[in-house]
Amino acid sequence: MKLIVTGGSGFIGSAMVRQALADGHEVLNLDKLTYAANPASLADFEDNPRYHFVQADVADATAVDRTFERFRPDALVHLAAESHVDRSIDHSRDFIETNVVGTHVLLEAARRHVDGLPSGPRGRFRFVHVSTDEVFGDLGESGGAFTEETPYSPRSPYSASKAASDHLVRAWGHTYGLPVLITNCSNNYGPRQFPEKLIPHMILNALAGRPLPVYGDGSQVRDWLFVEDHARALLAVLDHGKAGETYAIGGRCEQRNIDLVHRICDLLDEMRPERRPEAHGSFRGLIEFVEDRPGHDRRYAIDCSRIETELGWQPTTRFDEGLRRTVRWYLDHESWWRPILEGSYQLERIGTSDRS
């Protein structure tokens, strides 16, 4: 297929592009290249004739329409989003512009594109909208998990903007007959994740001998999904999902934040013993508990039974294996993250968000 992937230079987006190209698809990456995007994540595909790049804002209707007209896609996978909860608290307007207005622009462009297609290609077109489990709110101390039927209860500007975009996508499917699919994923982790997110933040702060800030008491629980497993899930939804349906995607791997930070420290003790802080003897000694952020949800978890049963997808990367691969990747790819830290983005600006 010919796919447009929005936000393809970001963390999950670049994994999606890599997997789609590996599966033989032709991909156009539409990315504004904001602070969290890194062209280096796809540098090895620059000469691939099946890979194309357009630098544009998803909220720029003219640029989006032009991209549809020139590329004539068979499907669109919408990953472009502002996704950092801490930033949404301080700069909510950016989240409305990208996550809500940008989604509306894409839906309208896709609708016009589909209306102009012959009946065969029109029936095959798909609009896959990638969302988050945060739209469902907080599970608290319950033993349950989010499903596709969980009522929405967003609790931050970020999750509210994503919930709004989900509702727009469903409305365009119902009102205009646009063949849409929605996915709600749990926390992603893996190589090429921007350093403001929890796992790379802890790795790079530890290597620099800086404090490892953990919100509250660190008992918040998240369900972790290896990014390559997520990319495979998105392609399964694209290839076999039923238009109009929602699929919850999770790693079946709940971890407390503090336990996760301890595991990262232990891996760094093993892999970089010469960098351990002398005053502590272990990277764990760098951990500092800081004031919790406003409205911090306690627990998220995904029941991904539907996608497993209906589409045959399952997460295949064990958490211990995935985390080890992730830590090793950052140790071996300083050339990827060092320019970020030496540029406009500095370690001291990194928050402690646990989001993907």
User: What are the residue numbers of the active site?
Assistant: 133-134, 158
- Residues ≥6 apart with Cβ < 8 Å to 47: none
- Which phi and psi (to 5°) does residue 343 adopt? -90, -140
Token pair in block for residue 15: 């994994």
- Helix, strand, coil content of the chain in percent (nearest 5): 45, 15, 35
Q: Tokens 């190589």 sit at which residue?
A: 191
C-alpha to C-alpha distance for 211 and 73, rounded to whole angstroms: 46
How are beta strands 26-31 and 221-226 bridged, if at all? unpaired
CB 131 within 8 Å of CB 165: yes
Side by side, the strands of the sheet bearing 26-31 are 51-55, 26-31, 2-6, 75-78, 126-132, 180-185, 246-249
